[in-house]
């Protein structure tokens, strides 16, 4: 029989493993696409959805995902119509979403704080199960489209000549990012969840010479960042988000040192 | 892309008729007609902005067009673009070539065919020299045994010695496997040495004939000067 506190920690760890691994894996594409800031900014778009969930009494993460999903489709469509980059479009929309979210939360500052920084104590069996199922689906789908996206990045013409619809694959990818960000909010909140998508991949890229090593390391670094952040937060009794970030940055610094040592010795 | 039977079109592998391509309401290719036989090498020449790359994109069905592009039968068409963005992507030669779902054995064989040793297989694409990169691209184009190969500036960024070696290798590969080769080149010496026929484009058809003719100064003036469109009765090679 486990105590309620320990139970929460175990479920929190399960979510950390699922989110850390899938965010790291998915993020490896985002860094290649030069969309690092997109991952970060897109996470803020969830805020109005979280606020609506709190206001109308349904699961805020569902609201957050719906907003992320709609924003991703809208940004993808506007990108095709206007030829503006994802970064420009996300930059234009995320501050608006942030402002609307803060207005909707109004005086409910506790809920706003929870949305911004996450609350691992609320993670139970249901949340952990959903996080694992979504992560498995995200990783499987990402694996399926990974090579197609990379080929599109190398040359859109090469990809198209092989019958790959680069626009459709990008849309699917944005939807997968939305899903991962939505479940990641539980751990780090909307302010910091973008970190999990970007920094593990950046660290992996520094020390990788081939694709399989790159995405494997990115997923592992994401997992280590999330799990060590949760463990430290339990130990120090503080919110996990900032500690997840600090763990990830430590890995990033180590990667830079390894790269530097390799250059010096070669 | 429409397919036609051999009986309809003799031994021609490609038949282009009344091809017009407009991009943003600008006419990039205007009423182009030509057809080519299997196994020949056709060089596409013309000044910058003449529509050469757009012609390739139309042949691959990558841009909307009016007119007809008919490849004979079910063909595999290999394509190598002029520019690849690999500098920021950690991807090895083996991983890149395996995107075409070929076996490790096929990849090794094709690398040997383009004159690269097996040590290159695990190298990152971003660390390859210009010549090695071009050879990898040729390997990419031929690994799944295409019937036709479209090559945009095969040796851009490559030194002269490597350029000759790459064209020599392309010639023997295409001859051995009866591959029809369409290549875009600015180098008229290369066009004369390594292609059978030349098509000069400057939005419309300026010249179509044997490659040796492009060395004629009057012809060069015609190709690279003001566009004077030719109406050929039966344009074929």
pLDDT digits (tens, 9 = 90+) for B52-78: 999 999 998 888 999 999 988 778 888
Mutate to test the interface with B, among A211, A217, A263 (most CBs of B within 10 A): A211
Quote the pLDDT of residue A136.
96
Q: Which of A122, A112, A116 is nearest to A51 (CA)?
A: A112
Domain boundaries, chain B: 1-75+186-237
Query: Is A114's pLDDT higher than 80?
Result: no
- Asked if A214 has any chain B CB less than 8 Å from its own CB, the reply is yes
Range of the domain at A164: 4-194
CA dihedral B4, B8, B11, B12 (to 10 degrees): -50
pLDDT for B227 equals 57
Structure tokens at B107: 């990849």
Beta bridge partners of B22: B27
Q: Are A147 and B99 in contact (CB < 8 Å)?
A: yes
Tokens of A47: 């805020």
User: Which strand ranges, in their side-by-side order, compose the sheet holding B66-72?
Assistant: B2-4, B66-72, B12-23, B26-37
Tokens of B16: 């282009």
Domain count, chain A: 1
Of B56, B53, B59, the C-alpha closest to B2 is: B59
- From CA B196, how far away is CA B41, in angstroms rounded? 5
Residues A178, A72 contacting (CB under 8 angstroms): yes
Q: Closest chain B residue to A145 measured between Cα atoms?
A: B99
Per CATH, the homologous superfamily of domain B1-75+186-237 is P-loop containing nucleotide triphosphate hydrolases (3.40.50.300)
Q: Do A153 and B99 touch (CB under 8 A)?
A: no
Q: Beta strand B26-37 with B12-23: parallel, antiparallel or unpaired?
A: antiparallel
Task: Please give the Cα distance from A12 to A7 (Å, whole number).
Answer: 8
pTM: 0.79
Q: Which long-range contacts (CB under 8 A, 24 or more apart) does A260-264 make?
A: A262/A207
* Nearest-Cα residue of chain A relative to residue B93: A210
Would A228 be classed as within a structural domain? no
Gap between the Cα atoms of B62 and A158, Å rounded: 10
Q: ∠ at Cα A264 (A214, A261), nearest 5°?
A: 50
Residue A135 and residue A133: Cα distance in Å, rounded?
Answer: 5
Report the SS3 class of residue A243.
helix
User: Would you call A178 exposed, middle or buried from its count of C-beta atoms within 10 A (0-12, 13-18, 19+)?
Assistant: buried
Give the pLDDT mean for A101-107: 83
**B3 band by pLDDT with thresholds 50, 70 and 90:** very low
Q: Does A215 reach chain B within 8 Å, measured CB to CB?
A: no
Question: Does residue A79 sit within a domain?
Answer: yes
- Find out whether B214 and B198 touch, Cβ atoms under 8 Å: yes
Please give the residue of chain A at the shortest CA–CA distance from B77: A161
CATH code where residue A132 lies: 1.10.3470.10
Q: Which of A153, A211, A212 sits opposite B85 (nearest CB)?
A: A153
| Residues A121-138, mean pLDDT to the nearest whole number | 88
CA gap A230, A238 in Å, rounded:
9
pLDDT at A7 over 70: no
Distance from CA of A83 to the nearest CA of B (A): 13
Confirm or reject contact between B52 and chain A (CB < 8 A): no
Q: Which residue of A has its CA nearest to B123?
A: A209
**Do the domain assignments include residue A200?**
no
Residue A208 in any domain: the answer is: no
Does B7 score more than 60 pLDDT? no
From the list A113, A87, A90, A89, the residue with the least C-alpha distance to A35 is: A87
ipTM of the complex: 0.77
Residue A233 lies in a domain: no
Strand-strand pairing, B2-4 and B66-72: parallel
**Angstrom distance (rounded) from CA A72 to CA A84:** 14
């Amino acid at each position: 029989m486990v105590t309620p506190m320990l139970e929460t920690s175990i479920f929190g760890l399960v979510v950390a493993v699922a989110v850390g691994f899938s965010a790291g894996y998915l993020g490896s594409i985002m860094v290649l696409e030069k969309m690092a800031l997109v991952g970060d900014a897109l996470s803020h778009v969830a805020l109005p959805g979280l606020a609506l969930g709190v206001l109308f009494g349904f699961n805020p993460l569902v609201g957050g995902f719906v907003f992320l999903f709609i924003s991703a489709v809208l940004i993808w469509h506007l990108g095709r119509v206007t030829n503006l980059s994802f970064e420009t479009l996300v930059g234009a929309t995320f501050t608006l979403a942030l402002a609307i979210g803060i207005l909707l939360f109004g005086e409910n500052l506790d809920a706003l704080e929870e949305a911004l920084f996450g609350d691992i104590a609320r993670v139970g069996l249901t949340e952990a199960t959903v996080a694992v199922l979504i992560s498995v689906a995200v990783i499987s789908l990402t694996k399926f489209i990974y090579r197609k996206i990379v080929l599109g990045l190398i040359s859109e013409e090469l990809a198209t000549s092989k019958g790959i619809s680069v626009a459709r694959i990008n849309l699917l990818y944005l939807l997968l990012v939305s899903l991962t960000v939505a479940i990641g909010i539980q751990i780090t909140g909307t302010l910091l969840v973008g970190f999990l998508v970007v920094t593990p991949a950046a660290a992996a890229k520094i020390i990788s010479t081939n694709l399989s090593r790159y995405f494997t390391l990115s997923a592992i670094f994401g997992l280590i960042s999330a799990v060590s952040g949760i463990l430290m937060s339990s130990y120090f009794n503080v919110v996990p988000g900032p500690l997840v970030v600090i763990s990830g940055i430590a890995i990033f610094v180590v990667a830079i040192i390894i790269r530097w040592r390799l250059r010096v010795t070669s | 892309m429409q397919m036609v039977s051999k009986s309809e079109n003799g031994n021609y592998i490609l038949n282009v008729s009344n091809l017009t391509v407009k991009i943003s309401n600008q006419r990039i290719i205007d009423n182009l007609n030509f057809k080519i036989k299997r196994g020949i090498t056709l060089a596409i020449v013309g000044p910058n902005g003449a529509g050469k790359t757009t012609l390739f994109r139309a042949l691959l069905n990558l841009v909307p067009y009016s007119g007809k592009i008919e490849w004979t039968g079910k063909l595999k068409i290999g394509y190598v673009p002029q520019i690849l963005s690999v500098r920021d992507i950690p991807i090895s030669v083996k991983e890149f070539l395996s995107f075409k779902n070929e076996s490790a054995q096929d990849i090794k064989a094709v690398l040997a065919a383009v004159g690269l040793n097996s040590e290159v297989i695990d190298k990152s694409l971003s660390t390859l020299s210009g010549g090695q990169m071009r050879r990898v691209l040729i390997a990419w184009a031929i690994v799944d045994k295409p019937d036709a190969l479209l090559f945009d500036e095969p040796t851009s960024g490559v030194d002269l010695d490597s350029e000759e070696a790459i064209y020599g290798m392309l010639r023997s590969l295409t001859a051995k496997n009866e591959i029809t080769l369409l290549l875009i080149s600015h180098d008229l010496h290369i066009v004369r040495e390594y292609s059978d026929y030349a098509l000069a484009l400057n939005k419309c058809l300026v010249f179509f004939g044997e490659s040796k003719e492009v060395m004629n100064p009057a012809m060069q003036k015609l190709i690279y000067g003001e566009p004077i469109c030719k109406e050929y009765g039966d344009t074929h090679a």
